[in-house]
Structure 1
Amino acid sequence: MKEIKGPAILLAQFMGDKAPFDNLDHICDWVSSLGYKGIQIPANDLRCMDLDLAAQSQDYCDELVGRCAQRGLTITELSTHLQGQLVAVHPAYDDLFDAFAPTHLHGNPNERQEWAVDQMKKAAVASRRLGLNTCASFSGALMWHLVYPWPQRPAGLVEAGFKELAKRWVPILDVFEDNGVDVAYEIHPGEDLHDGASFEAFLNAAGDHPRANILFDPSHFVLQQLDYLHFIDLYHDRIKAFHVKDAEFLPNGRTGVYGGYQGWQDRAGRFRSLGDGQVDFRQIFSKLTHYGFDGWAVLEWECCYKHPEQGAAEGAPFIADHIITPTEYAFDDFAGGETDHANNARVLGIAQSE
């Protein structure tokens, strides 16, 4: 068996204008002091990295890796969630998702998509230059407004949607293939890839592309009321990245899975800091270890109650406590287990063959 790496942390939710959150060196000093060993870097944030330069310069990437290593940190993956989201946007969401793109692209959905595709291809090259084998992302969504089948969906509509999504992503995935890097799509409400069935539909439309894989985040399964442990059994061979994020689902007579347009604190499904929610991380870490997952356990902090700095401080020991060191021995080895063919034959009551 292989061992999960960690603890690591996604920097996106912590970057800000004040130290120690204002640049990569400062935040690396901070997360290292908390006990983290890895960082997932948001590839869209110039305070962390310049993606365009990283795709061009090996020297820049080596320097980036070195600055992190000086602080005892490994870059685990690049996070391209915002760029990936913009690969596929239904027009109803154009104004809202413009915030994910540079200002000069606002109001220009076609140019925004071209920029996003270019960014993803650059992320493939940059990941290779940084020595990474996985890139975290979103799939984007052309069909989220159709998630509930009312009004009735016209025959063939969903198939056409996945065909178009694959048409947009396969050329990107081919660049990732050329660079030896997987795209790990976070299975997430709001994305066309939001559960196992939708991931399968995309994979089928994309010709079972080897670089189309999964970022497993159990918090989104709690909010959808999906069996996150069975999901690991079904898709473990495609799970290439892991966000350690907690959640709770407390339905009542007022709100359920859909949330009633309420703020996070008033929804039935809420993200929580590690240990404060309902996710069974003991079983998750056990299953991932059983299936040989040796990627990073990355804290993604999102909690509707707790301060982020407290969540980050508590997250590193929580993850470290859940990482399993695989055993090299069977628990009953002490009772003897060496192969003795003659003894085996006697135990079975059969004559030993010559």
Structure 2
Amino acid sequence: MNTMKGPGLMLAQFSADAAPFNSLEGIADWCANLGFKGVQIPAWDRRLFDVEKAAESQAYCDDIKGMLAERGIVITELATHLFGQLVAVHPAYDAMCDGFAPEALRGKPNERSAWAVQQVNLAARASRRLGLSAMGTFSGALLWPYFFPFPQRPEGIVDIAFEELAKRWLPILDACEESGIDLCYEIHPSEDLHDGETFEMFLEKVGGHRRCNILYDPSHLLLQQLKYLDYIDIYHERIRMFHVKDAEFNPTGRQGVYGGYRGWTDRAGRFRSLGDGQVAFRPIFSKLAQYGFEGWAVLEWECCLKNQEDGAAEGAAFIRDHIIRVTDEVFDDFAGTGADRDANRRMLGLGV
């Protein structure tokens, strides 16, 4: 068995236009001071990272790795969620998703999608140059407006949507194979891959592609009322990334899972800083250790109440205290009697 690495920090919720959060050097210094050992870099944020340059220049990647190493930090993975979101967009979401693309591509969904595919492929090549093994993303969504079946969904629409989703992602998965990178879909409401059933539908359509994997984030499963520990038992062979994020679900007589269109603070289901929600992290870390997860435990801070800097400081210690250093000993070896096949047969009364 292997010991997972950590703590790491997803930088998307922290990068900003003011120092120290407006450069990778500045944010790395800040992370190191809090005790983080790794950073997950959003590949779309040019304040921190140039994905095009990283895909082509080994020197650029080596410089980044060297600068981080001086601070005791490594890159855990690249994140491509905003690119992945644009690979498949239902027309109802075009206007909202346009902001993720360059201005010249807004209002041009086909060109925007082609650009997004290119960006994910660049990030896979950059990941290879950085010596990484996994990369996070979103699947995008063609079906999400129809997630609740009323009016009833037309027969065949789900199958058509997953066929199209697979058609768009298969070339990307093949490019990840060429680069030796596991593409890990964050299982997330508003994405077509939002639970176990939908991941299995997609995996079947891409022929069980070995680079099609999972970014496990228990907060999204808790808010859907899935059994997030069972999820690890079922899908542990495909879990290659881990976001450590907390949440709570407190339904009332007025609202439940769907939230009644309320803002985050007033929803029954809310994201919280680590330790402030309802996710049982000790059994999660235990199960991941049991199955030999050797990736990174990465804090993704999202909380509707607590300041993000406080959440990060507390989160680094929280993750460090939850990582299980896996033993290479068996606890009752001291009582071992030693045996061979003949001895075992004699003990069972079977003779030699």
TM-score range normalised by the length of the shorter chain = over 0.9
Map of 1:2 onto structure 2: 2
Give the 5 Å matches for 1:134-153.
Answer: 134-153=134-153
| 2:82 corresponds to 1:78 | no
Q: CA deviation at 1:53?
A: 0.5
Q: CA deviation at 1:334?
A: 2.2
Q: Determine the C-alpha separation between the residues in 2 that align with 1:342 and 1:52.
A: 64
Aligned length, in residue pairs: 352
- 2:28 is matched by which residue type in structure 1? C
TM-score (structure 1 length as normaliser)? 0.97
Find the residue that maps to 2:87 and give its secondary structure.
Answer: coil
Q: Determine the C-alpha separation between the residues in 1 that align with 2:36 and 2:337.
A: 40
| 2:266 corresponds to 1:279 | no
Q: Determine the C-alpha separation between the residues in 2 that align with 1:158 and 1:115.
A: 26
Map of 1:293 onto structure 2: 293
Q: Determine the C-alpha separation between the residues in 1 that align with 2:348 and 2:142.
A: 63
Map Cα deviations across residues 280-321 of structure 1 (whole Å, 9 max, x no partner).
111111111111110000000000000000000001110011
| 2:178 corresponds to 1:211 | no
Map of 2:47 onto structure 1: 47
- 1:333 is matched by which residue type in structure 2? D
Map of 1:104 onto structure 2: 104
Map of 1:242 onto structure 2: 242
Q: Determine the C-alpha separation between the residues in 2 that align with 1:170 and 1:53.
A: 24
Map of 1:36 onto structure 2: 36
Over 3 Å counting, the alpha-carbon distance change for 1:332 and 1:131 in structure 2 is same
Moved more, 99-108 or 283-292: 99-108
Q: Determine the C-alpha separation between the residues in 1 that align with 2:344 and 2:124.
A: 55
Map of 2:156 onto structure 1: 156
Map Cα deviations across residues 231-284 of structure 1 (whole Å, 9 max, x no partner).
111111110100000000000011100011100011010000000011111111
Over 3 Å counting, the alpha-carbon distance change for 1:127 and 1:344 in structure 2 is same
Map Cα deviations across residues 12-68 of structure 1 (whole Å, 9 max, x no partner).
100011111110000000001111111100000111110010111111111111111
Over 3 Å counting, the alpha-carbon distance change for 1:206 and 1:338 in structure 2 is same
- 2:92 is matched by which residue type in structure 1? A
Q: Determine the C-alpha separation between the residues in 2 that align with 1:342 and 1:116.
A: 64
**Kindly, what percent of the aligned residue pairs are identical?**
63
| 2:128 corresponds to 1:128 | yes
Over 3 Å counting, the alpha-carbon distance change for 1:337 and 1:95 in structure 2 is farther
Map of 2:91 onto structure 1: 91
Map of 1:21 onto structure 2: 21
Q: CA deviation at 1:339?
A: 2.7
- 1:164 is matched by which residue type in structure 2? E
- 1:326 is matched by which residue type in structure 2? V
Q: CA deviation at 1:338?
A: 2.6
Map Cα deviations across residues 164-196 of structure 1 (whole Å, 9 max, x no partner).
000100011111111110110000000000000
Map of 1:192 onto structure 2: 192
TM-score (structure 2 length as normaliser)? 0.98
The root-mean-square deviation of aligned C-alpha atoms, in Å, is 1.2
Map of 1:310 onto structure 2: 310
Map of 2:183 onto structure 1: 183
Q: Determine the C-alpha separation between the residues in 2 that align with 1:62 and 1:36.
A: 20
Q: Determine the C-alpha separation between the residues in 1 that align with 2:164 and 2:341.
A: 60
Q: CA deviation at 1:336?
A: 2.7
Over 3 Å counting, the alpha-carbon distance change for 1:308 and 1:336 in structure 2 is same
Map of 2:261 onto structure 1: 261
Map Cα deviations across residues 92-139 of structure 1 (whole Å, 9 max, x no partner).
000111111122222221111111011011011111011011010000
Map of 1:227 onto structure 2: 227
Q: CA deviation at 1:210?
A: 1.1
Find the residue that maps to 2:77 and give its secondary structure.
Answer: strand
Q: Determine the C-alpha separation between the residues in 2 that align with 1:190 and 1:123.
A: 23
Q: CA deviation at 1:208?
A: 1.2
Map of 1:327 onto structure 2: 327
Moved more, 102-111 or 210-219: 102-111
- 2:101 is matched by which residue type in structure 1? A
Over 3 Å counting, the alpha-carbon distance change for 1:341 and 1:153 in structure 2 is closer
Find the residue that maps to 2:152 and give its secondary structure.
Answer: coil
Find the residue that maps to 2:76 and give its secondary structure.
Answer: strand
Q: Determine the C-alpha separation between the residues in 1 that align with 2:155 and 2:192.
A: 18
Q: Determine the C-alpha separation between the residues in 1 that align with 2:34 and 2:272.
A: 19
Q: Determine the C-alpha separation between the residues in 2 that align with 1:131 and 1:341.
A: 46
Q: Determine the C-alpha separation between the residues in 2 that align with 1:219 and 1:337.
A: 46
